[in-house]
Chain A
Amino acid sequence: MKNGKRRMRQLLAVLAICGVGGLSALPASRAMASQPGSDKQRADIVTIDGMQAYGSLSQPKVVFLHDKHTTALGKQKDFYKKECGTCHTSDKDGVMQLGFKRDGAPVSGEKLRDVYHNGCISCHKDMAAAGQKTGPTDVQCKGCHNATPDVASNWQPITVDKRLHYRHAATQEKAENKCGSCHHIYSEKAGKTIAAPKPEDVPGSCSYCHGETTTVDAKRQPKEIRSLRLAAHGECVTCHKATAAAGKDVATGPVTCAGCHGPLDQKAIAETSLKKVPQGADLRIKRGQPDLVMVRPAVAEAPLIVDGKPVKPYAGMPAVPFDHKSHEAQNETCVSCHHASLTSCAAKCHTPAGNKDGGFVTLEASMHKVGASQSCAGCHAVLQKKPECAGCHDSRVKGVGDVAQCGSCHVKPEGDLKEAAAVMMAKPAAKETAAAEADMAKKLLAGKRDVTATFPAEDIPETVTIGSLSKDYEPSVLPHRKIVLSMLAGMKDSKLAGAFHAADAAVCQGCHHNSPASTTPPRCSNCHQAVETTTASARPALKAAYHTQCMGCHTSMGIAGKVVDKAADAKPVPVATDCTGCHKDKKK
């Protein structure tokens, strides 16, 4: 029985992919008409395969097109009077069920099958009798159970980005409890979910409580926490529909599948957001988060004992002065970093030693894991894939592997700050005032660059002639200064790049790698031998070093074969096999 219930729940979740009825003929969708995409690429595909929970399927799954049904029914006003109620029942409180023609109670497999067969076919038959165009009416299974449907899904998840959140908040500006209109919490006293009373009570993103599947918390009533899918459709679409039905002139959101999940509609939403949100509007979602904060590394708690005596307590890595506000501006949602809750990463999940709640991901890994986009190093590594960064960074070690980079985040306090920082870090985090932390962070960040800089242009050699290997070809004349300046231009809007390219020579090291930072870096041939030998080495010989460096960068930056220079006589950056693009043929 218990098992059956669980299955039923899964089933409901599956069925509810787009389970909320929405009719394109309603005023709501007039406000934002769904754009007609290609008929074969659809966002409204609901795969009816609920019978899977009762054993293997004897027929192919049914590909049900939700928007197609709501549109068709919407056109049949005379015939169709119950709106969503045609397919979806509502409970005594008027809350609509997302499954087809049934409440949430468990049913047997046979019953479920009958619900579909009777529900679908009888409706099709009635419409056919009334002389309307409709779906399959006979018992020819193939009509619905089609293993090779001619439609493909272009469904994509929708993100409530900062602008969309701003637009929603703006509609509630006059409401008494602005945030509570959407954000609810579970109240033990009330024994149910209630509107979040104050902004600080908002737990954050819906996904923090509503997971991929519906979960059960036996300690509360109701026990079930709906899956994100059920919750989002239940709340968002219902509200959009109700708003549209209530007010004449109030614009509201989509109620069709494609309206939220279709790529074209999403583009339209983004464009509308750009238009509707005033220039310079403060998009921050304010819930008491700091502008600046000190992120503390895990410090060994007990002092180290050597020969039975405690030695100087381990000071640990310097704390990271973190510009939270600037990171907020770079991300669309809080979830980009705070993926499971808004509390501190280390509080419950990513403890220094790791625990079950955090999937045994330690605090250190949660900040440095390159493969995880929520970690600091992981997100930065994703950004390094941008063409303007990839030229240098594709071939460089990422994340903590590059130990030379530690100090970029773990800023070492110098001078007056040394002692103040030591005192602050010796206290447990909670004991420090936010203001003092912010102040310390500000001071430590003061020396950081906002934009990438390097040596003055006149000090950068204009051309470099590479000719030591010249044999079949003339020496290659490298437009050295132009290359450096175009790389700088690519980074001019990146504060991240500025902060990490701390030294003037940092940019040089994209090419002059592994060598001492200086205006006169050693020649390539100091490390890359000019003559290839029969002894294999991981370090390429000179000819390959040049070619790999130049071509690799051109390819990563996506500029090979393109004219990047604005000058009238500018030549395209040579593609890899265009030898004479870099060095003239000697024979000619």
Chain B
Amino acid sequence: MKRRHFLGLLGAAGVTMGTGVSAQAASSADVKGLPNAGGVLFDATRCIGCRKCEAACNQVNELPKPAKAFDDLSVLDTIRRTDAKTYTIVNKYVPEAGKPPVFRKSQCNHCMEPACASACFVAAFKKTETGAVVYDESVCVGCRYCMVACPFNIPTYEYDKAFTPRVMKCTMCYPRLLEGKLPGCVEACPKEALLFGKRRELLNIAWDRIGGTPGRYVEHVYGEREMGGTSWLYIAPKPSFAAIGMDENLGTASAPELTSGALAAVPAVAGIWPVLLTGLYAITKRKDKIAEAEKQAAVAAAIATASADAAAKLSEELAKAEVANKRRIEVEVTKALEAAAKAAEEGEDA
């Protein structure tokens, strides 16, 4: 299990602390509860790598101008990732030497059960009815667990802002959606490589395209089930999604689901969690970037929110839990700590 998955688990329980709502709130019940959630279907066989989507995103979100112009396609020669000034990027892949390249746009996938939201103990992230996963900077404490938790490496942080740095990620153009407009990138795409619509309808269209042109596509809709499903869906030409840099081994369990069982019922702040949180702060190389006071406040707030009988409940629940489940938690905790320590050693962003 990857470190961020574990932190997803960790965070899933964390929701409880901030909101007092059970972690189950973000489970599959929610997905069924959003039958009309919107989404975007990205078709890699249509994308030509023109970067019009990147330009449009930059414009509609009023992001700073990049060093190289959007019509400079030499940018595609290196693989990039999203950053605090860039919500979306298009990368070029050459799955088969000598064959034409395949392009893939990446941005927040707007998970049906977002790991980022699960990891955030102040509930700064919310899955909305539109399908968009939105971020509320006014409650964010800057712990950046969302960044660690996201299985797609999406949220980024305004490190260069001394005051009120924010977590930055694609919003699915939530404000535009509310006005009945298309996301900026979707509107700008000259090839309809991006198609906005209701997620369930997009799934039909995706499968129709796969079935209608035998041999062209990988027989899979990426995001239909990955991590419990995402609102942004992908179809890609053969040979594979891995060939265009997508992780094919994420599994179908969502972040909150990974913690279901005894853990989900436990108010996270009690017992081991505060210890863990503090431990993680300690191994975060950039911890000094966060004001010490902020950290104290976060932990204090979290602990204060937990009910007085949390400790009692924890031991009771854990006792009830199957041995196997306990064992699993222990193993994951150990693994995650080891991985986090290693990452810290390597100087990676924790």
Q: Does A279 contact B (CB under 8 A)?
A: no
Do A548 and B46 touch across chains, with their CB atoms under 8 A apart?
yes
Q: Does A555 contact B (CB under 8 A)?
A: yes
- Kindly provide the distance from the CB of A10 to the nearest chain B CB, expressed in whole angstroms: 33
Q: Does A543 contact B (CB under 8 A)?
A: yes
- Kindly provide the distance from the CB of B197 to the nearest chain A CB, expressed in whole angstroms: 2
Residue of A532, A536, A537, A547 contacting most chain B CB atoms (<10 Å): A536
Do B191 and A548 touch across chains, with their CB atoms under 8 A apart?
yes
- Kindly provide the distance from the CB of A102 to the nearest chain B CB, expressed in whole angstroms: 45
Do A536 and B48 touch across chains, with their CB atoms under 8 A apart?
no
Contacts A536-B202, A577-B49: A547 and B182 contacting too (C-beta < 8 A)? no
Q: Which A residues, 502 to 538, have Cβ-Cβ distances below 8 Å to chain B?
A: 532-538
Contacts A576-B50, A577-B48: A534 and B100 contacting too (C-beta < 8 A)? no
| A536 partner, pick from B100, B180, B189, B197, beta carbons under 8 A | B197
A534 to B37, CA, bound (A): 12
Contacts A544-B192, A577-B73: A534 and B48 contacting too (C-beta < 8 A)? no
Q: Does A540 contact B (CB under 8 A)?
A: yes
Q: Does B38 contact A (CB under 8 A)?
A: yes
Specify the chain A residue showing the minimal Cβ separation from B213.
A395
Do A534 and B190 touch across chains, with their CB atoms under 8 A apart?
no
- Kindly provide the distance from the CB of A238 to the nearest chain B CB, expressed in whole angstroms: 41
B residues within 8 A CB of A538? Answer: 205, 208
Q: Does B201 contact A (CB under 8 A)?
A: yes
Do B180 and A547 touch across chains, with their CB atoms under 8 A apart?
no
| B182 partner, pick from A395, A534, A544, A576, beta carbons under 8 A | A534
B residues within 8 A CB of A555? Answer: 100
Dominant secondary structure at the A interface = loop
B residues within 8 A CB of A445? Answer: none
Do A551 and B197 touch across chains, with their CB atoms under 8 A apart?
no
- Offer 24 A-B interface pairs, CB within 8 angstroms, sorted by A: A371-B214, A395-B213, A532-B182, A532-B186, A532-B192, A534-B38, A534-B180, A534-B181, A534-B182, A534-B196, A536-B41, A536-B197, A536-B198, A536-B201, A536-B202, A537-B197, A538-B205, A541-B192, A544-B190, A547-B190, A548-B46, A548-B192, A551-B48, A576-B50
A residues within 8 A CB of B268? Answer: none
Apart from A395-B213, A535-B197, A577-B48: 19 A-B pairs, beta carbons within 8 A: A532-B187, A532-B192, A534-B182, A534-B197, A536-B41, A536-B198, A536-B201, A536-B202, A536-B205, A537-B197, A538-B205, A540-B192, A543-B192, A548-B46, A548-B192, A551-B191, A577-B50, A577-B73, A579-B50
Q: Does B195 contact A (CB under 8 A)?
A: yes
Interface string of B229-240 (1 = CB under 8 A from A): 000000000000
Specify the chain A residue showing the minimal Cβ separation from B202.
A536
A395 to B213, CA, bound (A): 8
A residues within 8 A CB of B177? Answer: 534
B residues within 8 A CB of A534? Answer: 38, 177, 180-182, 196-197
A543 to B192, CA, bound (A): 8
A369 to B201, CA, bound (A): 31
- Kindly provide the distance from the CB of B54 to the nearest chain A CB, expressed in whole angstroms: 13
Specify the chain A residue showing the minimal Cβ separation from B186.
A532
Do B198 and A547 touch across chains, with their CB atoms under 8 A apart?
no
Interface string of B24-60 (1 = CB under 8 A from A): 0000000000000010010000101110000000000
A532 to B193, CA, bound (A): 13
| A547 partner, pick from B49, B73, B191, B214, beta carbons under 8 A | B191
A102 to B178, CA, bound (A): 83
Q: Which B residues, 195 to 225, have Cβ-Cβ distances below 8 Å to chain A?
A: 195-198, 201-202, 205, 208, 213-214
Do A544 and B189 touch across chains, with their CB atoms under 8 A apart?
yes
A467 to B38, CA, bound (A): 31
A540 to B186, CA, bound (A): 13
Do B180 and A576 touch across chains, with their CB atoms under 8 A apart?
no
Specify the chain A residue showing the minimal Cβ separation from B47.
A576
A315 to B196, CA, bound (A): 49
A residues within 8 A CB of B205? Answer: 536, 538
Specify the chain B residue showing the minimal Cβ separation from A371.
B214
Do B191 and A544 touch across chains, with their CB atoms under 8 A apart?
yes
Q: Which A residues, 535 to 560, have Cβ-Cβ distances below 8 Å to chain B?
A: 535-538, 540-541, 543-544, 547-548, 551, 555
A544 to B47, CA, bound (A): 11
B residues within 8 A CB of A544? Answer: 189-192
B residues within 8 A CB of A547? Answer: 190-191
A541 to B192, CA, bound (A): 8
- Kindly provide the distance from the CB of B43 to the nearest chain A CB, expressed in whole angstroms: 10
A534 to B198, CA, bound (A): 8
A543 to B189, CA, bound (A): 9
A21 to B191, CA, bound (A): 60
Do A536 and B50 touch across chains, with their CB atoms under 8 A apart?
no
Interface string of A330-348 (1 = CB under 8 A from B): 0000000000000000000
A534 to B179, CA, bound (A): 11
Specify the chain B residue showing the minimal Cβ separation from A541.
B192
- Kindly provide the distance from the CB of A476 to the nearest chain B CB, expressed in whole angstroms: 12
A533 to B197, CA, bound (A): 9
A365 to B100, CA, bound (A): 34
A residues within 8 A CB of B50? Answer: 576-577, 579
